[in-house]
Structure 1
Amino acid sequence: MPTGVALTKFRVPRPRRDFVRRDALLAHLRQLTLDTPVTLICAPAGSGKTTLMVQLAAADAPGELAVWVALDDSDNNPARLLATLVQSLLPLDMAWEMDPRALVANVTGSGPEARAVLAGIVNALCTVPAQRVVWLLDDLHRITDPNAVSLLDSLIERLPEHVALVLGSRTEPALPLARLRAHGELGEIDASPLRFDEPTVIALAQHRWGSAPALEVVRDTLARTGGWAVGVNLMLASSTGTGIVRPALQHETPRRALFDFLAQEVLDELPPDLRDFAVDCAVLPELNPARCQAVTLRSDSRDALDALLRRHLFLSVVEDSQPVLRFHDLFRDFLLAQLARKPAAHVRLLHERAAAAEELPERAISHWLDAGRWIAAADLIVHHGLRLASEGAYATLERWVERLPADVVAADPRLALLRTECAWSRWDWEQVLLHAAPAAVGLEQSGDLPGQLRAQLLLAATLGALGHLEERAALTERTLRLDLPASDAAQFHLQRAWSDFSLGHSGQVGKHLATMNALVAEDPARYAPQVAPTLNCHFGGLPGVTEAYLQFAALCDSVPKPAAMPWHSTPVVLGAWAALWQARRGGATQALRRAEEIQHRFGKVRYVLLDATHLQALLLAATGEFDAARQVLEALLADLASSDAEGLRRVWQRPYRSVLARTLWMAQDGPGLAAQAAWLEGPLRHREWPLTAGAVDSVRGQAALLAGALDAAQDALETAVAHHARYPAPAFYADPRVALAGVHLRRHDPALAWATVAPVLQEIARDGTPGRLLLEPAPLVDSLLALCPAKAPHAAQVAGLQQTLAGWRAAAAHTAADTTPRAEPAPLGPPGLRLTEREREVLELVAQGLSNKLLARQLSLSAHTVKRHLANILDKLDCDNRVQAAALWRRDTN
């Protein structure tokens, strides 16, 4: 959870003693929360929205819990909004499926990770022992980021029936209000019922001054203000309770101008020292005696605050004990405008004092920036930057850095590292390159070894991702010559494995991974979480890698896991890959299922999702489910086509498309394979990895073989074999020697076919990776294994391979025979996720346009059950809303 967030955001402001109860309006609001899941109170600033919401929250209704959130500008991005929402719920007695801090820590945008947090919130809310929860979000107008608004819409879609959401906003939010209105799911209160009338004005004056003003004063006040609550209050205050209102502006005066005029009237009534105190304290978002004393240097700050409160100066009490107070936004804006008339040096000094006294780093940083104290601001930014980054506050960090002068930023390599981390979070490789190198150089010069190593690690990984392979290798070797801590050494030995894999030294990969494991073993609890995010499946099938995967998984399993974290899925996926290479079908499918469960909780972490999806496709193909495998890989390629995957796509689009071609090769789908071969055609493009050339030639040769063009097939496959000798990538493309042996079989030359495939079988026996043969066409593999001479040195090993393959196929056939259509419906949505029969019924009716109420009636379900089904459907289909899900249904059923 954000540690820099003021807890007062979640405290219901204390109702003023002299506020006027509006029982009829409050009863209307309460009824709306009972009748509709969402209630919107939308009216201009100063209309009394917050006061009404406070009354609702403060009401002691039996069996009801109120949750308060005062939104601010820092919440205007998806990650911070989710963190704020989760933190607001922590005091409730709810059962979270997993540590909510771990959920939020994984979110960097509004994609599946954010939707997983929403699912966690909804599931937790379903466990609240209270009969009802009223969740009040004040100042919603501050949330304008489209992705943040989209997340709020997704939350509304999934709210349990016993949770009512009350939204206070100055402007109509960009939520799908028309849809909510059409479905009868939106209650609304606009400015009209909030306007004061004569009895309310009279009651307000009696509360404050003990007597009512003359009726003509009341009517004049209403005429001038239109019943606008803050205007009425100010106008009455400007009359000081005497009934004599000073000359005011005309009725048609804009509301803001009227406010400023009346506020000035009120301010002029204050003693000069109290007036200066109020204006100077306007730099503070929240006021307490200590902060006010620090800013104004007045030792009587508590008395001054009490005096302002007694004079009804538009202060709300957030907390009684200190106390903590807050100016009404409009009044604070007015006071800040007054402050701006004072000398700039005075204003900067106030911000300096406020920053020095502020305990919350985010507020202190803003004060230092406003004071123009760039070095102090920069020091705080870098000190808290990594924590804020872990909370998803990347946009805030970058906004702060942009406010710093260019020379300050250029002179501080710590800021360059922070910008590198922000760019890395978006997979913005070009920006990582721009900032990581100067960060590494500057941090090395300043003697900051941990910072230097972090910058060099991100730089090395990015160089590889962008295809700067020689540069990555040189940086890695240079870094490994340093006296590195074990955790950093482990990560750079992994980078060495990446370098050797990309540059054609595949025989060294397993050794580097073994060294990495030895370093991680020194302290798995500390080092495994650091290494896991950069270790994946690409090395699979190479010598020594299967054992390294299993060893790393075992090290991770030794780490206590009180709550699930995103990195936990990495060792599970690696274990599943190892099981595939060892042809242990049960181990592979069970591990993949575990990984999917972890991933689903966190909403799909891309660095693991690619591996899991890749593996799932190959597993499906290895069990004969070629159509399902193709759908999975097409979804993966669609993900690579997204705008935030540009850097990844540049290097990995053709290798992942070669995996799709591989499943078509396994299915012996000649036309499909020919189409993929045409798509893959062409020499290496700028920065593509050399292994791509072998994949392209291999697919071209396989397509020619299936088309009967044996000469073309042999030429392409012999070229592919030469590439494969240096750049094998079993996880991506099939061994071209198997297809080349198939060409010799078609030419009726079994001896040459056996001689071609025998080295493959020897490598498989040496490395214990019979699963490689599962990823070749089964009829061709069986024909080639049958060529083994009875007295050949490896005849026993070949017989063992035949037995292993037969066992896998028998298990696959048994599973297929035991699977009923109800348990395994046709694939819909993202790979590996299936809808239950009931969910399919619900989605079909949603696609027909039925509202939740009609849907519940049609299926004889409660509204709560319908919402839960919809939430599950949206999660499984990776959709933001029911419209997207319905579109998917119509697409896949037409």
Structure 2
Amino acid sequence: MSLESPAFARAKIQAPRLRPGLVERPRLEAALGRALVQQRVTLLQAPAGFGKTAALTRQLRQLPDGSALAWVSADEDDDVQRFLACLTAALEPFGLPWRVAPQALATLVQAERGLRRAADEIANVLAAAEVPHGLIVIDDVHRLADPQVLMLLEALVERLQPPWGLVLASRSEPDLSLARLRASDELAEFRQVDLRFDEQEVEALMAQAGYAAGRDRAAELLQRTDGWAVGLRLSLATLAAPLQGRATAQLQARRHLFDYLASEVLSQMPGELRDFLLRSSVLPELTAARCARLLQLPLASASRLLGELERRGLFVSALDDAELTLRLHDLVRDFLDDEFERRYPDELPVLLRRAAEDEPDLVRAVGWLARAGDWNEAARRMEEQGASLVGFGGISSLSHLLALFPQAQMASRPEMLLLRALVAFMKFEFETMRDSSVAAAREFERLGQPDRAVWANVMVGLAMESTGQVAQSAAHLAALPVAGLDAQVRALTAFSQAWAEFGNGRAENAPRYFETMLQVLEEKPDVALWSQVFFHSILTGVPGMRPLLERFDEGAMRLVRDVPCQLRAGVFNSKAWLAIGRGELQAAYEWSQKADEDTRWIGSQRSVLTETLMSRAMIEAVHGRSEAAWSAHAALMSDMQAAPPSNRLTHNYELVFTGARIAWLLGELDQLPRWEAELRAVKNSMEWPLAELDRQVCAGMLAASRGEYAEAARLLRTVALAPERSNFFIGGQSLWMLADVLARSGALDEAAEILRPWLDDGLAGRDVGAAILAGAEVLKRVLDQRWGSRMTPAQLGLVRRLADTLLRARAPERAKSVARPSLAPAANAAAISAGADYGLTERELEVLSRIAAGESNKLIARALDLSPFTVKRHVANILDKLAVSSRGQAAAAWRDLNN
């Protein structure tokens, strides 16, 4: 699924076209017009057919010039992710300065407090929009079945600021805090009593329809319909035919009245038009092309019949679109649906299947196929397109579609079971992932598809690694016959084996499997395949990994280029740690910032958030930024607490140990007892064997901080003198801490013997990140020792350079500020220099200059040959780096830079 392509029908975000011939309703229109301009929330709530949409459509045309209007028609299958996709697409024309990818909001809402965070993002970007007035209109709110959508709207209402307002049209009162809005006079309400026609309006309607509008006749019609707009129109359409003694009682219930009159109108239609309307009613929106394909008519015939429906105007509203598009009134569609199923029950499944054939919206298509009982085709569409929903915020929609399938249908469809396993993997629900993959493998074997069974078993092995079976996972994966299978199977197998070896404390084997994976990936430069194996920075420091990581990162960047995604965020994290390994701390910080920016832009998916926050916390600590380091670590711990139990139990120890490493780097040694105790407390049977190594090092840190040098040396020695086995240079860091405590206790000969091989490797160009993570205090103490001939000048020179690098990185940052408060055709030298001070790249300066010149994102994209998505990302970066919130403020900052 393209990041730019909506996964829903565009008609959902198109406001209905103003129908010609509507009678004026001055009382209603004046009140509604005031509300739309002045109130935070406007609610139109009445039963179907009371003219909510018509009244709203007419009044929206009277909004002040330059007003922004975002329209969303709600549907029953709109979960919160799909709703957000519609809303952000409806807001797209207004060039809003998003700080996260609009498409990523669907992912963001799945995180802890995600609904409020998404509401914050929307409210903030609306507040920064440079429009005189703006409205978000949600039509048919009563259709919303996902309570999270209403919770999102509730949170958005709390945050919405002028000049924006929210308009809700619904048959029933939405589950929002309306009482609070009423009390604060921030709610305008238009209910049935306000929307129904009065006698003068009925007279005008009759006159327009060509009937004598006597007051008695108007009063009689008003009494019979209670001012119900649809009832009035239908009654006027049947006035020419006498009611022939039909009992008034039959007409008293509005739905009964509607059904009866609708059937009268339907029966009086020409047969061709009636059949066209009945059969095409399976579609929510009607166009000539779609109706022609559905009903297998000539395009000219479908166009003629559609035009006749629009002319009659009883059952449809026309949407604003280049192609004539009609939307059936929902009550009419319900009636037609019942009538069609009653008259032609055998045709309904045929038309539903045909409607699904060219429906780009997978949610609609699978829903129709499920209703038709065509599980084979529904499964085929899911297998063909379902994985495309995974990449960017479609997990909830996929879960909804998978839930449509009866268990018996799922159990016999291994591809669907694999899809469910994939969804579970992206949600870190590892038990579900494992169970679904096991069932898929069993079913593939039964169907005689051993290659696909192997693929399912690879997923089983990957799930085992995070459900307390990492030792069994290694044996399980090693037994799979993957040679000769497709690239996806071989690449993911090697990836899983690398992690199984690492998790089991055999990190020296990880490079072999990682290289096998890399060879397969390089044979198949497919970004979707590379994206499944994107997290790898934790392997930094393992002997032999540096050239493989550099190779992976280079290949991945050729594929993703300038598109923010989880693969690119993973590469940036890797580059940050490779820079630490080289002792390039400023570069590490900049790569970490880029990873953080991409992670936020794609909605802080847990699949990349854990890696990014862990890296960011450690690198902030390296630079001595205590508040920033602990803030990132708190976010890391908070997200883990919201994770499913299997993920939390398997990996919580890593995050707790990271807290101890941060405390050590910052010299906040009074924090160590807390982290050492918590690391012991979180011990459980599901965690990786590496956890005991981390506990040993943490206890060694605590002993060293207390001056218990012999105990510290005992705890650190095993880890320090073994090959690197854990993440981020922990073995090498232990070596430096061991040398430090030995030297402090007077064992200089042993300390020097430990350090010399490491220093010689460093002088030869190997990784020096371990010394960086040992911290400035350790390096200073090592330099202060009287080594005599135990160390060469070159070895001590390397220690001094590393200590100086750390001290420079920890120096206070130069303060930066930018005046908030005109056109510059290009950057002058001063602007380029000042822009660099704010971290603006050359490309961002180009984009900023065009923002200052008043160009829209689309114009900038065209001028610089960039995708609109990339331009949005540049705009977000510019606003963040300049610490401004709108394009206008950015333009003002640009002018200051040039001055």
What interval of TM-score do these two structures reach, taking the shorter chain for normalisation?
A: 0.7 to 0.9
SS of alignment partner, residue 775 of structure 1 = helix
Deviation at 1:690, TM superposition (A): 0.9
Residues of 2 paired with 1:473 and 1:180: CA distance? 58
Q: Deviations over 1:180-216 (max 9, x none)?
A: 55665544333332111001112222222x0135534
Quick check: 2:40–2:166 contact (8 Å CA) kept in 1? yes
Q: Deviations over 1:314-335 (max 9, x none)?
A: 3323479875433311122233
- Residue 83 to residue 115, structure 1, CA distance change in 2 (3 Å): farther
Using the TM superposition, name which of 531-540 and 56-65 deviates more: 56-65
Report the equivalent of 2:71.
Answer: 68
Deviation at 1:653, TM superposition (A): 0.6
Deviation at 1:284, TM superposition (A): 3.3
Residues of 2 paired with 1:458 and 1:77: CA distance? 28
1:26 aligns with one of 22, 25, 29: 29
Residues of 1 paired with 2:384 and 2:693: CA distance? 47
Report the equivalent of 2:398.
Answer: 397
Query: 1:359-378 residue pairs with structure 2 within 5 A?
Result: 362-378=363-379
Question: Structure 2 regions of 5+ residues with no counterpart?
Answer: 820-837, 839-875, 882-899
Residues of 1 paired with 2:745 and 2:557: CA distance? 51
Q: Deviations over 1:800-859 (max 9, x none)?
A: 12222123213422x35x459999xxxxxxxxxx9xxxxxxxxxxxxxxxxxxxxxxxxx
Q: Deviations over 1:436-490 (max 9, x none)?
A: 2443565688798997786555444332222422343345445684235667655
Deviation at 1:406, TM superposition (A): 3.5
- Residue 706 to residue 822, structure 1, CA distance change in 2 (3 Å): farther
Deviation at 1:666, TM superposition (A): 4.1
1:42 aligns with 2:40: no
SS of alignment partner, residue 188 of structure 1 = strand
Quick check: 2:363–2:397 contact (8 Å CA) kept in 1? no
SS of alignment partner, residue 110 of structure 2 = coil
Report the equivalent of 2:652.
Answer: 653
Report the equivalent of 1:384.
Answer: 385
Deviation at 1:51, TM superposition (A): 0.6
Counterpart amino acid of 2:12? Answer: K
- Residue 734 to residue 143, structure 1, CA distance change in 2 (3 Å): farther
Residues of 2 paired with 1:122 and 1:627: CA distance? 27
Report the equivalent of 1:641.
Answer: 641
SS of alignment partner, residue 167 of structure 1 = strand
Quick check: 1:79–1:107 contact (8 Å CA) kept in 2? no
Query: 1:370-769 residue pairs with structure 2 within 5 A?
Result: 370-390=371-391, 392-439=393-440, 455=456, 458-477=459-478, 481-483=482-484, 489-514=490-515, 516-517=517-518, 520=521, 526-527=526-527, 530-531=530-531, 534-559=534-559, 561-626=561-626, 628-642=628-642, 644-667=643-666, 669=668, 671-681=670-680, 685-707=684-706, 713=712, 716-717=715-716, 727-730=725-728, 735-741=733-739, 744-745=742-743, 747-755=745-753, 761=759, 768-769=766-767
Q: Deviations over 1:388-447 (max 9, x none)?
A: 444544444344433334443233222122212222232211111122244356568879
Quick check: 1:33–1:39 contact (8 Å CA) kept in 2? yes
Report the equivalent of 1:166.
Answer: 167
Report the equivalent of 1:809.
Answer: 807
Counterpart amino acid of 2:48? Answer: A
Residues of 2 paired with 1:617 and 1:390: CA distance? 26
Residues of 2 paired with 1:364 and 1:690: CA distance? 47
Query: 1:224-243 residue pairs with structure 2 within 5 A?
Result: 224-240=224-240
Residues of 1 paired with 2:598 and 2:682: CA distance? 39
Deviation at 1:170, TM superposition (A): 2.3
Counterpart amino acid of 2:483? Answer: L
Report the equivalent of 1:249.
Answer: 249
Residues of 1 paired with 2:620 and 2:105: CA distance? 32
SS of alignment partner, residue 326 of structure 2 = strand
Quick check: 1:40–1:188 contact (8 Å CA) kept in 2? yes
Deviation at 1:50, TM superposition (A): 0.7
Report the equivalent of 1:13.
Answer: 16
Quick check: 1:133–1:164 contact (8 Å CA) kept in 2? yes
SS of alignment partner, residue 49 of structure 2 = coil
Report the equivalent of 1:855.
Answer: none
TM-score when normalising by structure 1: 0.79
Deviation at 1:530, TM superposition (A): 1.8
Quick check: 1:217–1:244 contact (8 Å CA) kept in 2? no
Deviation at 1:673, TM superposition (A): 1.8
Residues of 2 paired with 1:558 and 1:131: CA distance? 43
- Residue 674 to residue 374, structure 1, CA distance change in 2 (3 Å): same
Deviation at 1:52, TM superposition (A): 1.3
Residues of 1 paired with 2:321 and 2:5: CA distance? 24
- Residue 480 to residue 537, structure 1, CA distance change in 2 (3 Å): farther
SS of alignment partner, residue 418 of structure 1 = helix
Report the equivalent of 2:330.
Answer: 329
CA RMSD of aligned residues (A): 4.4
Report the equivalent of 1:848.
Answer: none
Report the equivalent of 2:223.
Answer: 223
Residues of 1 paired with 2:535 and 2:529: CA distance? 11
Report the equivalent of 2:797.
Answer: 799
SS of alignment partner, residue 249 of structure 1 = helix
Residues of 2 paired with 1:399 and 1:532: CA distance? 23
The percentage of counterpart residues that share the same residue type is: 28
SS of alignment partner, residue 465 of structure 2 = helix
Quick check: 1:99–1:564 contact (8 Å CA) kept in 2? no
Quick check: 2:109–2:117 contact (8 Å CA) kept in 1? no
Quick check: 2:569–2:608 contact (8 Å CA) kept in 1? yes
Residues of 2 paired with 1:364 and 1:664: CA distance? 54
Residues of 2 paired with 1:283 and 1:721: CA distance? 70
SS of alignment partner, residue 798 of structure 2 = helix
Quick check: 2:111–2:639 contact (8 Å CA) kept in 1? no
Residues of 1 paired with 2:495 and 2:139: CA distance? 48
Report the equivalent of 1:52.
Answer: 55
Report the equivalent of 1:198.
Answer: 199
Deviation at 1:240, TM superposition (A): 4.1
Q: Deviations over 1:684-715 (max 9, x none)?
A: 63221111011112222332443455665555
Deviation at 1:103, TM superposition (A): 4.6
Report the equivalent of 1:94.
Answer: 95
Deviation at 1:781, TM superposition (A): 4.0
- Residue 560 to residue 547, structure 1, CA distance change in 2 (3 Å): same
SS of alignment partner, residue 466 of structure 1 = coil
- Residue 780 to residue 351, structure 1, CA distance change in 2 (3 Å): closer
Quick check: 1:498–1:509 contact (8 Å CA) kept in 2? yes
**Number of equivalenced pairs:** 820
Quick check: 1:655–1:732 contact (8 Å CA) kept in 2? no
Report the equivalent of 1:774.
Answer: 772
Deviation at 1:340, TM superposition (A): 5.0
TM-score when normalising by structure 2: 0.79
